[in-house]
């Protein structure tokens, strides 16, 4: 039995251009796919994506986050070196990159991120 791909019809160029304008020029390919799937506004996209809006999330409510933030501040104040330990999954690498780029100042002395080896 031969299988054939069935492609959704192309979205209108006007709708793609309008959504690209709303999302930003670097998201033109995403806008094309979303319009092709029937989403032509930011409101439709937000309704389609499940989850909690970032504005409703308080990172300090995570387990031990206040203590971790306080310890990082103490290390900064006392000139201690900081080493970030991560893993291979998306949240682990994202956390390490975000912490390195945003939570530590350029003047802070930190070791590069250490990614643990799996299966060892």
Cβ neighbourhood burial of 56 (10 Å; 0-12, 13-18, 19+):
exposed
For residue 54, give the DSSP letter.
Answer: G
Beta strands of the chain (E only): which ranges?
85-86, 114-115
User: Are both 63 and 110 inside the same structural domain?
Assistant: yes
User: Are both 42 and 90 inside the same structural domain?
Assistant: no
User: Are both 67 and 41 inside the same structural domain?
Assistant: no
∠ CA 64-101-25, nearest 5°, is 120
Q: Compute how many other C-beta atoms are within 10 angstroms of the C-beta atom of residue 35.
A: 24
- The range of the structural domain enclosing residue 78 comes to 58-115
User: Are both 63 and 105 inside the same structural domain?
Assistant: yes
Entry pTM: 0.44
Whole-number mean pLDDT of the chain? 81
User: Are both 62 and 36 inside the same structural domain?
Assistant: no
User: Are both 81 and 108 inside the same structural domain?
Assistant: yes
- For the segment 102-109, the average pLDDT, to the nearest whole number, is 60
User: Are both 93 and 67 inside the same structural domain?
Assistant: yes
Q: What is the pLDDT of residues 5-38, one digit of tens each?
A: 888 888 999 999 999 999 998 889 999 999 999 9
Residue 8 lies in a domain: no
Residue 22 lies in a domain: yes
Structural domain total, the chain: 2
Q: What is the pLDDT of residues 68-101, one digit of tens each?
A: 889 888 988 887 877 777 777 777 778 777 776 7
User: Are both 47 and 70 inside the same structural domain?
Assistant: no
């Amino acid at each position: 039995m031969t299988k054939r791909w069935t492609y959704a019809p192309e979205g209108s160029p006007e709708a793609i251009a309008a959504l690209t304008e709303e999302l930003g020029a670097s998201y033109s390919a995403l806008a094309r796919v979303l319009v092709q799937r029937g989403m032509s506004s930011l409101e439709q996209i937000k309704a389609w994506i499940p989850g909690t809006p970032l504005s409703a999330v308080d990172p300090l409510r995570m387990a031990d986050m206040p203590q971790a933030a306080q310890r990082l501040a103490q290390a900064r104040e006392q000139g201690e070196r900081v080493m970030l330990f991560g893993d291979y999954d998306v949240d682990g690498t994202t956390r390490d990159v975000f912490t390195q780029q945003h939570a530590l100042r350029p003047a802070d002395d930190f070791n590069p991120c250490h990614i643990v080896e799996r299966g060892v």
